[in-house]
């Protein structure tokens, strides 16, 4: 998505936002600090979704190259820096999943030799947490099937067809459950 302008906020909302805005102006030191701060979060998304450590490393590299080149498209008035960055990582992971042969839907993260980053996610401040609990509360109001399907779709990056195969359900039913869930979710979040 291409966006420019509209940044009428006077001060950056987070260090990540400030670094991202400096990266947009070609500041390499800010890019290094941004990498140090958020690479653990983005790598976690890459590994979790691709379930392949080497491919996740490759994807993380691709994501940061894209961040350096596209930082000027970041608009602080539309999304927090962490939301923008994690969305890029997640979408690029899904792109890879769609391009590659289907992953083992029952694959797990066990045995990948992962080292958990002990630091908390950079934006685990109260605002991010309250957004999340609102989303969780609204998810709790959905039926069991839509809730489970939307969750799996978001965290595993599975397509409609892959979800239908995994659940052993008709494709049309899976689409309907998810669409109904999404509509209810929006109505709940933005009444």
Partner 1 sequence: MSVHDIGEHHDADGGGPAGDDLRAAEYALGVLERDDRIQARKRVQDDRAFAEAVAGWERRLSAWRGYFPRLAPPPRVWTHVCDALDFAVAPEIDSSWWNRAAPWRVAAGLAAAIALVAIVKPFIGPPGTLVKRDVVIAPPAAEEVAKPVAVLRRADGSVGWLASLDRASGKVLMVPVPTPADPGGKVDELWLRDGRGVPVSLGFVSNEKAHTIVVPAAALDRLAVGSVLSVSLEDKAGIPHASQSDRLVAAGPIETM
Which of positions 7-46 make contact with partner 1 (CB under 8 A)? 7-10, 21, 24-26, 28, 35, 39-41, 43-45
Determine which residue in the list 107, 132, 141, 187 makes contact with partner 1, applying CB under 8 A. 132
Binding residues for partner 1, how many (CB under 8 A)?
Answer: 85
Interface with partner 1, residue 141, by CB under 8 A: no
Asked if residues 74 and 87 have their Cβ atoms less than 8 Å apart, the reply is no
For residues 173-188, one letter each, b for 16 or more C-beta atoms within 10 angstroms of the residue's C-beta and e for the rest, the string is: ebeebbeebeebbeeb
Which of positions 168-187 make contact with partner 1 (CB under 8 A)? 172-173, 175-180, 182-183, 185-186
Minimum CB distance to partner 1, residue 40 (Å)? 5
Q: Is 70 exposed, middle or buried (0-12, 13-18, 19+ CB in 10 A)?
A: middle
Question: What SS3 state is found at 101?
Answer: coil
Q: Is 15 exposed, middle or buried (0-12, 13-18, 19+ CB in 10 A)?
A: middle
Determine which residue in the list 52, 159, 166, 167 makes contact with partner 1, applying CB under 8 A. 159
Interface with partner 1, residue 102, by CB under 8 A: no
Length of the chain (residues)? 191
Minimum CB distance to partner 1, residue 113 (Å)? 11
């Amino acid at each position: 998505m291409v966006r420019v302008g509209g940044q009428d906020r006077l001060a950056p909302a987070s260090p990540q936002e400030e670094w991202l805005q400096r990266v947009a102006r070609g500041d390499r030191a800010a890019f290094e600090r941004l990498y140090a701060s958020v690479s653990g979060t983005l790598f976690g998304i890459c590994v979790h979704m691709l379930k392949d450590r080497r491919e996740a490393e490759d994807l993380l590299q691709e994501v940061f190259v894209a961040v350096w080149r596209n930082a000027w498209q970041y608009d602080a008035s539309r999304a927090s820096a962490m939301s923008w960055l994690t969305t890029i990582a997640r979408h690029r992971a899904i792109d890879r999943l769609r391009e590659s042969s289907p992953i083992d839907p029952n694959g797990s993260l066990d045995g990948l030799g992962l080292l958990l980053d002990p630091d908390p996610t950079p934006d685990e401040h109260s605002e991010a947490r309250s957004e999340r609990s609102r989303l969780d509360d609204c998810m709790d109001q959905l039926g069991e099937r839509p809730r489970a399907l939307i969750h799996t779709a978001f965290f595993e990056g599975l397509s409609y067809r892959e979800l239908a195969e995994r659940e052993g359900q008709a494709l049309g039913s899976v689409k309907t459950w998810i669409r109904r869930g999404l509509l209810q979710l929006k109505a709940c979040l933005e009444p």
